């Protein structure tokens, strides 16, 4: 498993636990549908990032490089 993913999940659980324990509102949707929306948005972001990283840059000819 990816270390960043595991760290993110653990941090999410820690924030949720801390908010519930201290009685402050959780900074996330309190219903399952809202939580699934957050997961879907995150997965969409990650998949788009992977797709865009694999394709060739379209505007390389317009890049000035280090000399401008």
Radius of gyration of the chain (CA): 19
Determine, yes or no, domain membership for 27.
yes
Determine, yes or no, domain membership for 66.
no
Which residue do the tokens 């879907």 mark?
40
- Give the tens place of pLDDT for each residue, 6-40: 887 788 788 878 878 888 887 666 677 777 777 88
Q: pTM of whole model > 0.85?
A: no
Determine, yes or no, domain membership for 23.
yes
| Structural domains of the chain, count | 1
Tokens representing 15 are 């924030």
Q: How many helices (H) and strands (E) does the chain have?
A: 2, 0
Range of the domain at 48: 3-55
């Amino acid at each position: 498993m990816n270390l960043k993913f595991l760290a993110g999940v653990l941090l999410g659980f820690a924030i949720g636990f801390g908010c519930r324990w201290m009685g402050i509102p959780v900074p996330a949707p309190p219903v399952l549908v809202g939580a699934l929306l957050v997961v879907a948005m995150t997965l969409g972001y990650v998949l788009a990032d992977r797709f865009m990283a694999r394709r060739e840059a379209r505007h390389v000819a317009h890049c000035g490089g280090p000399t401008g």
